[in-house]
């Protein structure tokens, strides 16, 4: 997991990773939905400083992989 997590989305990503590792697919689904809601709020009153979307892409790829395994 990441060393410094300032954004809510970073914490959701870490929780999603753990849920996938533990095979808690229903929890992983809910966390992915929460991530989508949180990310849809980006661009509101504060500027987004995230440099890359690579981490976000990894989350969706991991989720798809785990779901295909069931």
Q: Look over the chain and give the mean of its residue pLDDT values, rounded to a whole number.
A: 84
pTM for the model: 0.71
Q: Where are the alpha helices (DSSP H) in 1-70?
A: 8-22, 25-40, 54-68
Rank 7-11, 13-17, 46-50 by mean pLDDT and report only the highest.
13-17
DSSP assignments along 4-20, one per residue: ---SHHHHHHHHHHHHH
- How wide is the angle at C-alpha 6 spanned by C-alphas 37 and 4, nearest 5°? 125
- For residues 47 and 12, the model is more confident at 12
Structure tokens at 4: 């410094």
State how far the Cα of 52 lies from the Cα of 31, in Å rounded to an integer. 21
| Separation CA 55–CA 53 (nearest Å) | 6
């Amino acid at each position: 997991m990441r060393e410094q997590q300032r954004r809510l989305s970073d914490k959701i990503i870490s929780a999603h990773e753990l849920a996938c590792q533990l095979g808690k697919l229903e929890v992983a689904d809910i966390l992915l939905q929460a991530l989508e809601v949180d990310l849809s709020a980006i661009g509101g009153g504060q500027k987004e400083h995230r440099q890359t979307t690579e981490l976000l892409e990894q989350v969706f790829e991991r989720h798809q992989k785990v779901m295909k395994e069931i």
